[in-house]
Amino acid sequence: MKETDKKELPEIYRNLCETAEKMRQNSYAPYSHWTVGAALLAENGEIYAGCNVENAAYTPTCCGERNAFFQAISKGERKFSAIAVCGGNQGKPAASFCSPCGVCRQVMAEFCEKDFCVLLTDGKNVRLYTLEELLPVSFGEELSGRTSYENV
Ligand SMILES: [Zn+2]
């Protein structure tokens, strides 16, 4: 993990953090009041932003990170280099370094390499992690028993 002032980041990562911070305003979180914005950077430079969307039945709720991933995947993207995440109580400044939940980390592991960069922003400072730091012993394709789609 590395922590830095957002101003010190390369422009693309600064833009990614600011997109996540803005996307947080679109969150639909009437139950937890915890709003999250995420911005996912595909290897081709496209940014896919998402926010958390809650539901009265709770289970259908989707985190901002997965929202961003699923939008990207549905548009055909498969290679990603970084995601920025910003979260906090509704109507308040971002909390310090809201990190992805376990389910979102597992989704990241499905599509990203171990060096995939996860940026947690509080609006001013940013903590940078690799996916491997956040999910060191992940369940992957090799454990699932799926070796190829040829036999499916
Ligand atoms: Zn999550």
Interval between CA 150 and ligand 1 midpoint (Å)? 31
Interval between CA 36 and ligand 1 midpoint (Å)? 9
Q: 3-state SS of the chain?
A: CEEEEHHHCCHHHHHHHHHHHHHHHHCECCCCCEEEEEEEEECCCCEEEEECECCCCCCCCECHHHHHHHHHHHCCCCCEEEEEEEEEECCCCCCCCCCCCHHHHHHHHHHCCCCCEEEEECCCEEEEEEHHHHCCCCCCHHHHCCCCCCCC
Give me the catalytic one of 65, 110, 133, 142: 65
Q: What is the full per-residue pLDDT of the chain (152 aa) written as tens digits?
A: 999 999 999 999 999 999 999 999 999 999 999 999 999 999 999 999 999 999 999 999 999 999 999 999 999 999 999 999 999 999 999 988 999 999 999 999 999 999 999 999 999 999 999 999 999 988 887 777 655 555 44
pLDDT at 151: 47
pTM beyond 0.75? yes
pLDDT at 152: 45
CB 39 within 8 A of CB 47: yes
pLDDT at 7: 96
Structure tokens at 39: 């911005």
pLDDT at 148: 54
Interval between CA 138 and ligand 1 midpoint (Å)? 15
pLDDT at 64: 98
Q: Please report the domains of the chain, with CATH numbers, ordered by start residue.
A: 2-144 (3.40.140.10)
Residue 29 has φ and ψ, to the nearest 5°, of -135, 60
